[in-house]
């Protein structure tokens, strides 16, 4: 049975606003959201039901009223390096706080002194902050756990936890041309100066000299030019230089630059000056000439240059970094053809330069080339090389559902399908080569449940031993400790505030250790908030399931008829 949902947004002013509860309750893409409007025109309600200024003021005040009423709602946790400690942010009536948890002892404490950090950031930035209203939503610890780093208004800040001193590196003023959205055309190479690449044995430095690849001994000045065909209109990209593991070979992209289209903008009222501000942003459009990347292989000892036959990657939208096999027998890259209907993993022999496609994905529609992740907005690309490429775990929709396949790295043939069924894999968390197992998330596996709820599973690479890790009928996000001994399960629904549980992996299974956090919406419900109604129905074809939400006005009267807004 097919399952389909549609994401919609409702903006009717007098309907319930979503309070802070949404930090713990995920409104997932794919729902059909239906709003019942309280004043959408004559003919349905009496003409007296007109929009007033008071209606809008009441609607605008709902968030201010509801936000403080949802407390202890946790956000997704982050494990600290290789430790058994993790931290997360949770809501309070007057803001937020960060909490750190020791998985071994289940002890909880503030992640840092919130008041001192607020005072330090207030002094450093010249703005007033409080301990429960810090100007960031996430941070990272440094390796020594002696400092935290966060981004505040686009600037990266570092705060030492010993004395709560905060600093930020100097940010150079923006130039006239900004990179804009990352795309298939590189920026101006005149402003790019990639660092030389040291060989793995530490004896050589590779760099670009007058658009060509050159090397010199480490600490020496005598340079050897390996290529002579580079030019401003067909240059070697220093950022792509990659040494073989034994330091005997180099590979790099030679680039025929595409058309650098600039879109021009004018900010009429910038915050930092009286005059309007102009800038240009690079942005390729359909039909524009894109960068043409050509991998070229160099033998350092013989200075032989081999240009790889481009027939398998003749029309690129994008090509990934060049990555060597650990034994140096070959290097690989991924080719995304313009139009996104061909996506290949290509391996090039280090001795002959011969190219072959290990995997060639050629769907009739398009290949969603963004990397997969634990969100519905992520793509469908996942690849994991086992035993230095002897086998490959590959994600594909070739059977109509997004699943995982085990591919023979030598022949490119599919050995077998790892996951199978009328449900899609969403994301792969980890592959354990020794145990021949992987952990992944998926949706729609449980009959009668919202197919957009994400659950987590473990399975053997031979397709056996499918084991669920989550069971509550909700949308889950699971985070494992680095040694896979613990995982935190964070789940929620539109009618269930976020819950955070700590589990310990126990042999082939797992056990609940403790409930770490549970959102409290008692005051929210008392304030009049009501969760939207969940529904599922059949589409016009009588087969496809459509799941959705119904949002009603705060003063909904079941005896009256209302227009329905669906987007």
Nearest to 206 by CA among 165, 239, 228: 239
Q: What residues of the chain score a pLDDT lower than 70?
A: 1-49, 170-183, 189-192, 567
> Is the CA virtual torsion 519, 525, 528, 529 positive or negative?
positive
Closest by CA position to 335, among listed 357, 313, 356: 313
Q: What local confidence, expressed as pLDDT, does residue 42 receive?
A: 44
pLDDT at 24: 36
User: Which residues touch 233 (CB under 8 Å, ≥6 apart)?
Assistant: 256, 257
Count CB-CB contacts under 10 A for residue 63: 12
Residue tagged 């009049």 (tokens): 528
State the CB neighbour count (10 A cutoff) for residue 127: 11
pLDDT for res 332 = 98
Helices (H) then strands (E): counts for the chain: 3, 42
- Exposure b/e, 155-191, CB count within 10 A at least 16 = b: eebebebeebebeeeeeeeeeeeeebeebbbbeebee
Q: Which pLDDT belongs to residue 188?
A: 72
Strand pairing report for 262-267 and 277-282: antiparallel
pLDDT at 178: 41
Helices (H), 320-389: none
**Could you give the CA distance from residue 330 to residue 354 in angstroms, rounded to a whole number?**
9
User: Up-side HSE of residue 416: CA atoms within 13 Å toward CB?
Assistant: 8
> Which tens digits make up the pLDDT trace of 162-217?
999 999 875 544 444 443 445 688 877 655 677 899 999 999 999 999 999 999 99
DSSP character string of 34-83:
EEE-SSS-BTTB-TT----HHHHHHHHHHHHHHGGGSBS-B---EE-TTS
Tokens of 409: 């790295």
What's residue 565's pLDDT? Answer: 86
- Give the Cα-Cα-Cα angle 508, 514, 518 (nearest 5 degrees): 125
Residue 319 tokens, joined: 């090509």
Q: How far does the chain reach from its first CA to its final CA, in angstroms?
A: 25
- d(CA 565, CA 9) in angstroms, rounded, equals 9
């Amino acid at each position: 049975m097919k399952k389909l949902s549609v994401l919609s947004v409702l903006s009717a002013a007098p309907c319930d606003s979503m309070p802070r509860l949404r930090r713990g309750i995920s409104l997932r893409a794919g729902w059909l959201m239906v709003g019942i409007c309280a004043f959408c025109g004559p003919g349905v309600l009496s003409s007296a039901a007109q929009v007033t200024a008071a209606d809008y003021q009441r609607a605008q005040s709902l968030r201010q009223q509801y936000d403080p009423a949802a407390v202890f709602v946790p956000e997704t946790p982050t494990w600290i390096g290789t430790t058994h400690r993790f931290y997360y942010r949770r809501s309070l009536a007057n803001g937020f706080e960060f909490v750190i948890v020791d998985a071994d002892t289940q002890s909880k404490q503030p992640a840092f002194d919130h008041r001192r950090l607020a005072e330090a950031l207030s002094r450093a930035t010249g703005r007033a902050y409080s301990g429960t209203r810090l100007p960031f939503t996430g941070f990272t610890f440094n390796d020594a756990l002696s400092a935290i780093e966060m981004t505040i208004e686009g600037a990266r800040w570092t705060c030492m936890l010993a004395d709560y001193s905060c600093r930020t590196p100097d940010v150079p003023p923006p130039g006239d041309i900004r990179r804009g959205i990352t795309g298939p055309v590189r920026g101006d190479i005149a402003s790019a100066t990639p660092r030389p690449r040291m060989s793995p044995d530490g004896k050589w430095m590779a760099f670009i000299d007058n658009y060509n690849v050159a090397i010199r001994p480490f600490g020496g000045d005598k340079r050897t030019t390996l290529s002579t065909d580079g030019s401003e209109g067909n240059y070697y990209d220093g950022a792509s230089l990659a040494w073989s593991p034994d330091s005997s070979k180099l590979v790099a992209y030679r680039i025929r630059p595409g058309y650098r289209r600039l879109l021009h903008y004018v900010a009429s009222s910038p915050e930092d000056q009286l005059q309007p501000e102009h800038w240009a942003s690079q942005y390729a459009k359909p039909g524009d000439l894109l960068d043409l990347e050509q991998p070229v292989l160099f033998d350092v000892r013989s200075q032989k240059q081999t240009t790889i036959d481009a027939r398998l990657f003749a029309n690129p939208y994008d090509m990934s970094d060049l990555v060597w096999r650990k034994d140096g027998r070959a290097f690989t890259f991924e080719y995304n053809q313009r139009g996104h209907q061909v996506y290949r993993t290509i391996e090039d022999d280090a001795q002959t330069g011969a190219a072959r496609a290990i995997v060639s994905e050629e769907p009739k529609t398009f290949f969603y080339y963004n990397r997969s992740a634990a969100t519905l907005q992520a793509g469908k690309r996942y690849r994991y090389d086992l035993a230095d490429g002897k086998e490959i775990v590959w994600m594909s929709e070739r059977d109509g559902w997004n699943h995982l396949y085990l591919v023979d790295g030598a022949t490119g043939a599919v050995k077998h399908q790892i996951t199978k069924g009328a449900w899609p894999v969403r994301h792969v968390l980890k592959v354990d080569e020794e145990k021949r197992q992987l952990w992944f998330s998926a949706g729609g596996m449980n009959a009668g449940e919202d197919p957009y709820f994400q659950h987590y599973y473990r399975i053997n690479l031979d397709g056996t031993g499918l084991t669920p890790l989550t069971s509550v009928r909700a949308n889950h996000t699971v985070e494992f400790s680095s040694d896979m001994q613990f995982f935190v399960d964070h789940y929620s629904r539109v009618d269930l505030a976020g819950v955070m549980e700590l589990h310990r992996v126990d042999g082939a299974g797992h056990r609940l250790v403790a409930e770490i956090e549970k959102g409290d919406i008692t005051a929210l419900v008392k304030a009049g908030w009501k969760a939207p109604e969940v529904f599922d129905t059949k589409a016009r074809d009588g087969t496809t399931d459509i799941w959705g939400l119904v949002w009603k006005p705060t003063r909904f009267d079941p005896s009256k008829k209302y227009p329905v807004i669906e987007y």
